[in-house]
Amino acid sequence: MAYPFLKGSVVISLFFTLAFCSENNNNSGTSHEPGFTTTTRMPAHPDDGPVCASEECNTHTNKTCQICTETVFSCTSKQLKMTCRNYLNNPATLDVINLQDNKLANFDSFRGTFPVVTVLKLSKNELKKVTKDDLAKFPKLRELDLSYNRLLELLEDVFQGTQDLEELILVSAELFILPDSIFNSTKKLQLLDLSGNRFTAFPRNIFQPIWQRMTSLVMSYNPIKAITADDFKYLTNLERLTLEGLNIVAINQHTFSAMSKLQTLDMEHNTNLIYVDGDAFGMFAQKAGAMASQLKTVSFRGCGLHRLDRHVFNWRAIKEVGLSANPWICDCDVKWMAEPATWENVPAREKIKTELDRSKCTDIRYNGVAIGALSPAKLECVDPRLRDNSRLAGGIGGATTVLVITFLLCIISVIFAVFMIQRRSRHNSTSKFYVYRPSPPRQKRSAVAQCTFMPVGGYFARPLAVKGLCDDDRRHCDVKTLHLLTRSHSSTASCVDQASGRCLGITVNG
């Protein structure tokens, strides 16, 4: 008679247990990552917290983590400072650890060694320092993401314990320099992402130890002002290069020529980039139709290009190209883009024509018109004598010549204006001084002294006769003030002081 009652008690207990787990699952606020399946795991110790079908476990901060599989531990966006004890304390089966977007300040949560972990994601935490001992806990690590942590710098031995590392993501880690020997121990590295940091120059020397395996590099959104051929001399096996949002102005001759295996080049949003040399990839050194370049996808969208050399790419190998959102000047230099014959034997001609329909002219004559809609016969250039056709000018020679001529005309105008002002100032002067030269004195007697006025500044005065007596001892009379005579004028004045009989000079007001 007790068996029915016992069976009923078991059913009721099972019902409440399932209801408790279901309630915890609904209140946890977590969602499983796509592609993962949940499993049930018993806690290693009673104080590790409840673990039920929803795979929740408590941490030191009373938060909940989502456990995906026996080999994957995922706990993202939980503001965690610690991690689930019952899983990380028993890491023998863990292969992937994902703790992105938390508040981890160090590696204290990772106790012991994790012998089979190959993927470690710690982006968007509060890490300020990562040491060799921290990463030595993961000897089989192949993928490491430390993005969006304020690392500032990394020591040269930090990766000595991760010799199998293949992918390293250091986006926006506020790095501005890396030691040249930092990758001496990671010769299997294939992908490196250093975008969003503070590099002002291309860190060329760090690639020397890893040139054999390195196939993908991202250096976007760093304040790098120039790139040269020397920057890529160790990247001969590179297949994908992303250099978005730099401060470069030009891509000069042979800059990319060492990367003969390059298949994808992303140069978008380099707004200061106005010039790409026609031999930037070393094409001119190759025979037509037998070019060695493997470049298939290239994009210069959102740059500052006015024109592009038609020989810069092997168009027969190109499968996709991005040219829109550039300030194209539609003259004879882009005529080849609008000519249908250019694309007749190009396999990707339809995709290229679609891109040309999105590429707009910005010059006065064709402003807003798509390059693909232009008539090649109407695309003309200005007089070659007014243009600078050098490659260094980057196709902006016409504008440069006009600016120089305008500047010279302004200088000449200023000089002429200054000259005219000075001349007018002399013309309007109100006081000019002249030399008074009387005739040689004779005996004390009445005489007529002929006064001669010497012109100064181009003005003349009519001779003035002065009556008077002069001493034999005096050879000339002192002149006090003589004003400019601007019209026919004559006057007489006494040259001798009536009291003393001395010659005093003369004052003439005109």
Give 340-349's long-range contacts (Cβ < 8 A, gap of 24+).
342/310, 342/315, 343/315, 345/316, 346/315, 346/316, 346/318, 347/316, 347/319, 348/318, 348/319, 348/320, 348/321
392 and 321: one domain? no
377 and 258: one domain? yes
What is the tens place of the pLDDT at every residue in 154-170? 999 999 999 999 999 99
Q: Tell me, yes or no, whether 466 lies in a domain.
A: yes
350 and 454: one domain? no
Q: Which alpha helices (DSSP H) does 216-304 contain, by range?
A: none
Q: Quickly state the pLDDT bin for 420 (edges 50, 70, 90).
A: confident
Domain boundary among 350, 381, 412: 381
Q: Tell me, yes or no, whether 172 lies in a domain.
A: no
Q: Which residue segment(s) compose the domain that 347 sits in?
A: 254-381
What is the tens place of the pLDDT at every residue in 287-309? 434 444 689 999 999 999 999 99
Torsion of CA 477, 479, 483, 489, to 10 degrees: 0
Q: Check residue 91 and give its pLDDT.
A: 77
395 and 468: one domain? no
Mean pLDDT of all residues in 72-83: 86
Q: Which residues pair with 448 in a beta bridge?
A: 467
Q: Tell me, yes or no, whether 423 lies in a domain.
A: yes
344 and 291: one domain? yes
Q: Tell me, yes or no, whether 138 lies in a domain.
A: no
Q: Quickly state the pLDDT bin for 240 (edges 50, 70, 90).
A: very high
Neighbours of 471 (CB within 10 A): 13
375 and 419: one domain? no
296 and 332: one domain? yes
Structural domain total, the chain: 3
374 and 394: one domain? no
Q: Tell me, yes or no, whether 348 lies in a domain.
A: yes
Least confident interval from 94-98, 224-228, 288-292:
288-292
363 and 303: one domain? yes
272 and 324: one domain? yes
Q: Tell me, yes or no, whether 266 lies in a domain.
A: yes
